[in-house]
Amino acid sequence: MTRMDKNGKKSAPDLTADCGGIKSPNPFWLASAPPTNSGEQVMRAFDHGWGGAVWKTLGEDPAVINTTSRYGAIDIGGQKMAGFNNIELITDRPLEDNLREIREVKKRYPKHAVIVSLMVPCERKSWHDIVKRAEDTGCDGLELNFGCPHGMSERGMGAAVGQVPEYVQMVTEYVKEAARTPVLVKLTPNVADARYAARAAQKGGADGVSLINTINSIMGVDLKSLVPKFAVGGKAAHGGYCGPAVKPIALHMVSSIRADAECRNLPISGIGGVSNWSDAAEFMLLGASSVQVCTAVMHYGFRIVEEMIDGLSHWMRERNFSKVSDFVGLSAANVVDWKKLNLHHKTVAKIHPDACIQCQLCYVACNDTAHQCIAVDRAGGNRVPHVIEEDCVGCNLCAIVCPVEGCITMEPVATGHPELTWEEYMAKGMKGYREVYKRFHG
C-alpha cells in the first residue's frame, strides 16, 4: 500500500530493488558491457543515479585482444540505433587492474550494487579461483556470462556453455561451491527455448538468472564494397544483437521463465532493449526484479537514468505502488498459451472521422494485407474510410498503421456468448463456437 506522510500525501515510492539477494537503491543496473569497463565509468554512472552495475566480464590473464571496428547498428526510419551489435570480447584489461578498481568503487559506493561478471574455461579450479578473487573485492554478487555469442563462444565459453543445459548446471555448481555472494546466471537467447538453461541454472544452485544476452547477427552488407557492414578489414564475424528492436524477444523469454512451473520463484534480472522507465516497468511486470541497460546508455550516455528514476516513480505513484516488489511479476499471469484465449472475445475497429486525416493507410492495409473490412465511400468526394463491422476480425492492423493517436480505436463488443477457449472447444468435441465475425464470405 502507498505510504502517506502526516499530511496525507503520498510519499515518494521506494525504488529499492532486490534481485536474488543483490540489493540496490533502484532497479536500474548497467549491463556487463563497454559502459562498465572501468572504475571511472562505473562511478560516473552511479553519480548519475544508476543503482547497480555489472562489471564488464573478467577472464583469466592474459587479457583478450579485441579488434578495431567493434560495433554496428541499424537505423529504422528516423530511429538511430534501433538495433545494435558488437563483436567485443570480454574485458581486455589486466585482471588485477579490474579487481583493484572494483574494490575501490565498492569502497566509495557501498550502497550501490556492484556485480562482477565472470567467464573462464569450464574447469572447476578456474572458476573457484576467479570467484574467490572477484569476491575479495567486496562485490555484491556475481554474474556468470553464459551468453556472449561471439568470439568467446568459439573458445568454448559464453554462449557455448549457455546453449548446453548440462554445462550450465555443472559450471553453476562449480561457482556455488566457492561463492559467498549471490550468483546470477546470464542466459543466451540463441536457443530454441530459454527455459532449459534457466532450469539447469536453478538446479545448479543459481540465485537468479539474467537475460537476454545478445542475439547472433549480421548487420547488413555494404552495397558498394559488397562486404558486410562494420567489417574488420573486409571480413565480418557475426556479432551480438541488442537494443530497442530486441525488447519483445527478451520480454517473451523473461515471461516464459517466470511462467515455468520449475522456475517460478527464480529471480530474474531483465535485459534486452530497455531504454526508458516504461520498458523497465514492462520487464518488471513480467517478472524481472531488476533491469540491465546497455544500448541506450551507449546511445545517450549515463544521464538517461535520471529520467528513468523519475518516470518510474511517477508511474508507481499514480498506480499506488509504494515499492517495486508491489508490481514485480504482476502481469506474468496474463501471459498464457494460445489455447487458453477466449474465442468468443470480440473487438471491432472504430474510425473516428473527426480525427481522420484521410491518409487511407488503414484502408489499403486492411484491403491489401488483412481482412478486407474497411471501405471508402467515395460519393461526394469523401475520403474518410469506414469499418464494415460485421466483417471486422478485430485484428488491430488499422489502428497500428494509423498515424493519428486515438483516431482508430479497438472497441470491445459484447457477444453474449460464454467464454470459450480452444482447449474447451476441443474438449467439447469442437462444438459450442458461435461466430463473432464473418469467417466465410459465401
Per CB under 8 A, residues contacting other proteins are 77-78, 357-361, 363-364, 367-368, 372-373, 375-379, 383, 388, 391, 403-404, 441
Nearer to other proteins, 69 or 382 (CB): 382
In angstroms, give the least distance from the CB of 355 to other proteins.
9
The 8 Å CB, 24+ separation contacts for 425-432 are 425/343
DSSP letters for 428-442: TTS-----SS-----
In angstroms, give the least distance from the CB of 72 to other proteins.
18
Helix (H, G, I), strand (E, B) or coil at 292: strand
Nearer to other proteins, 322 or 372 (CB): 372
Of 42, 49, 43, 13, nearest to 28 by C-alpha is 49
Where does 49-123 have alpha helices with state H?
95-108
Nearer to other proteins, 76 or 427 (CB): 76
* Nine cell digits for residue 411: 472497441
The residue type found at 321 is: F
Residue 398 appears among annotated catalytic residues: no
In angstroms, give the least distance from the CB of 342 to other proteins.
27
Residue 62, burial from CB neighbour count under 10 angstroms (0-12, 13-18, 19+): exposed
Q: Could you say which DSSP state residue 327 is in?
A: T
**Which H/E stretch holds residue 234?**
none
Nearer to other proteins, 43 or 375 (CB): 375
In angstroms, give the least distance from the CB of 70 to other proteins.
24
**Under 8 Å between Cβ of 242 and 272:** yes
**Under 8 Å between Cβ of 19 and 290:** yes
CA–CA dist 352, 327 (Å, integer): 35
Nearer to other proteins, 431 or 441 (CB): 441
**Which H/E stretch holds residue 30?**
strand 28-30
Q: Which of 19, 122, 139, 148 is catalytic?
A: 148
In angstroms, give the least distance from the CB of 403 to other proteins.
5
Q: Mind telling me the catalytic residues?
A: 148
